[in-house]
Homo-oligomer: A and B are copies of this chain.
Amino acid sequence: MLSQATRVLLDGLNAGKRAALARAITLVESRNLDKFKQGQGLLSALLQQRRDGEATMFPKETIRLGISGPPGVGKSTFIEAFGTHLLKQGKRLAVLTIDPTSSLTGGSILGDKTRMPQLSADSRAFVRPSPSGGALGGVARSTSDAIVLCESVGYDVVLVETVGVGQNEVAVAGMVDLFMLLLPPAGGDELQGIKRGIMELSDLLVINKADGGLETVARQAQIEYTSALKLLRRRHQRWDPEVFAVSSLKGRGLDDVWAGVNRFYDHVGRDAVEHQRGLQYKEWMWRYVEDQLARHFKQHPPTRQKIADLEHRLMEQRITPGGAAEELLQSYFASSNFENPLNKL
């Protein structure tokens, strides 16, 4: 079934080769249909091998950790420090960074290697920018594929980093086991606005920069966030979110955070985590399908040329939503001789 090229790549992954990993991720990110299919074939083969218990590099248990935080909170510094701490524990770490300001074609975020120089230089770590999709809050379809590919060569901790811009976090939370929010050492007003929604997604809150005289403020923030969390929805029935104060600069508190991550898996349980991953896969597929359907609908010429006018008349309340929706749907389905949108994937 697999082509010769795919077979070579599969062998490379099964031997734990970083170069094979990089090439495989490029395939699943590709907008070229043939390459994309090659990437999916590779993934299926890998997952089948894992299920069949055939010798692969897949770790028995992996950790999928989402991480976010507002600009200036010190994400790079934290990931460097936390990642280095994990490497010392004998872990192998992959970091996928999502930057919605980068483009799909561009791919690489300028300066990613300089943002995390230590991890980038360490052979036990793998740092890779994930292209942003422009849809689903800028998180690409391929990111969840890239997670599996990283695991397939032996990375047992995959960290998906995103910047704090709303919808992003929701998408990332849908592809990781637990979500960590980095916060600056100041409480109170920080609770307002967008961060509350993100706090509800978060299993761990980490207050960074608890150093240089800010220790007291950070402790105070820790208390405030702890009581605020009590009033928010919980993501997991079996997990009460925890709040930490750390200094990435001094390396203080990182072991507590790591203990918190492990406590999460102990409390929730591996079976529940695996089940959650399956559910996430289903949800993620439907989100992507619905996103693509809406995109095709809005770009389809017979529909597209009506949208602006209908929206204008809706804003002026000259028509009602039901009628406008039916008019659009009519012209869409009446011209059902679609150009297959996947030809220009």
Contacts and interface: CB of A to CB of B under 8 A. Distances in A.
Contacts of A311: 282, 285
A294 interface: yes
A319 B43 contact: yes
Interface string A146-168: 00100000000000000000000
Interface in A313-332: 314-326, 328-330
B293 A323 contact: no
Nearest to A330: B342
A197 interface: yes
B288 A290 contact: no
Most buried by B among A40, A145, A334: A40
Contacts of A281: 314-315, 317, 319-321, 324
A301 interface: no
A326 B294 contact: no
Given A36-B326, A279-B315, A290-B294, 12 more contacts: A40-B323, A43-B323, A51-B318, A141-B325, A145-B322, A196-B232, A281-B315, A281-B317, A281-B321, A285-B310, A289-B325, A293-B293
Given A231-B231, A278-B314, A333-B340, A44 B319 contact: yes
Contacts of A337: 336-337
Contacts of A228: 231
Nearest to A328: B289
Interface string A44-66: 10011001000000000000000
A250 to B, nearest CB: 33
A144 interface: yes
Nearest to A319: B44
Given A51-B316, A279-B315, A281-B317, A28 B322 contact: yes
A277 interface: yes
Contact of A322 (B142, B232, B330): B142
A172 B55 CA distance: 54
Taken together, the copies of this chain in the complex come to 2
A314 B326 contact: no
A321 B279 contact: no
Given A141-B325, A325-B141, A330-B342, A318 B288 contact: no
A289 B297 CA distance: 9
B288 A323 contact: no
A223 interface: no
B278 A322 contact: no
5 contacts: A47-B319, A275-B315, A281-B314, A336-B336, A337-B337
A267 interface: no
A109 to B, nearest CB: 21
B338 A333 contact: yes
A48 B288 contact: no
A79 to B, nearest CB: 25
A270 interface: no
